[in-house]
Amino acid sequence: MSENASEKSIEALAEEYLSAQEQETSPEDLEEAKAHLTELQERYERFEKDYAESDPATQQLAERISETEERIAELEEAQRIPEELKEQILEEATGFMLTAEWLDPDVIEALNLALIGERDSALIIEEIEISDPDDVDDLDDITRFDIIDVVRKLALDKLERTSEIGEVWGSIADTTKEEPFETVAQLGRATPDEVVERVDDDDVDRETISNRLRNATRLQINPYFREDGVYQLSTAGKHLAQRYAEIPEDVEEGAQQEDESQATLGQNTAEQGGDDDD
């Protein structure tokens, strides 16, 4: 990390990172520009050979090549800056503390973006949801230090400087905890009953699934957040799902489409019911 970067406050760094992320171009834009440059260069070589370098068309091709090279440099810069800022955020997060600076909404959003690639407005660590400094006021010392430890370990794992997060995944992978974990990851939120419906084992009942989900919450790092009997992935769980698990994207998309279809069906039913009342 550069000296200038280390002198920035985490709030300033977060603001810069979020702003740069909004300006970031897609990899497809860069690939298209590079492909276009290759085609221009091929035609320039042909025109230079067949019609001479001084030919107006050859000169126009040279201008287009220069313009495209400038465009590629701009696109590469637009992609480089967010990545550098992300690294700086992660470096700073290895010293994460439960302070007002770190729990600023923009900082939380930037930290989530760096850790899990999502601009979540809250950190969900050890079943505590944190969106501002007030959320940690009543926490006991043990919980506070556990949260600090988890966030730092996630940052270190992203920087590939610790094996502890991988060891947590090792306690889930290839065990009875893995399929429930993947199911919750696919659905986003799920009750034990909903997990049972998707587990590929007819001999497994709700109590068994509840135990498997609950057992995972007792790992060194809790991958879940539970509320009113509904499980969802914690910030650490999302990191595990993205970095270590093999979650089928088509299944996740199918579940999302199913939810949307059910919502549409419910809306249509409500509208039809309204017509009957008239």
Q: What DSSP line would sit under 72-95, residue for residue?
A: HHHHHHHHHHHHHHHHHHHHHHTT
Q: Tell me, yes or no, whether 66 lies in a domain.
A: yes
- Residue 6 is predicted with a pLDDT of 54
Domain count, the chain: 1
- Residue 24 is predicted with a pLDDT of 64
Contact predicate 155/215, CB 8 Å: no
Q: Tell me, yes or no, whether 109 lies in a domain.
A: yes
- Residue 272 is predicted with a pLDDT of 47
Q: Tell me, yes or no, whether 256 lies in a domain.
A: no
Helix (H, G, I), strand (E, B) or coil at 114: helix
Q: Tell me, yes or no, whether 15 lies in a domain.
A: yes
Cβ burial of 161 (10 Å; 0-12, 13-18, 19+) is: exposed
| Long-range contacts (CB closer than 8 Å, 24 or more residues apart) made by 76-82 | 76/30, 78/23, 78/24, 78/25, 79/24, 79/25, 79/27, 79/30, 81/20, 81/24, 82/17, 82/20, 82/21, 82/23, 82/24
Amino acid present at 245: A
What the block records as the tokens of 45 is 């070589």
Where in the chain does DSSP place strands (E)? 123-125, 128-130, 189-190, 224-227, 230-233
Q: Tell me, yes or no, whether 52 lies in a domain.
A: yes
Tell me the per-residue pLDDT of 155-173, one tens digit each, with 9 for 90 and over.
999 999 999 999 999 999 9
Cα separation, 207 vs 210, in Å, equals 5
Neighbours of 208 (CB within 10 A): 16
Q: Tell me, yes or no, whether 150 lies in a domain.
A: no
For the chain, how big is the Rg over CA atoms in Å? 25
- Residue 26 is predicted with a pLDDT of 81
| Structural domain for 62, as ranges | 3-130
Stretches in the chain below the pLDDT threshold 70: 1-6, 24, 249-278
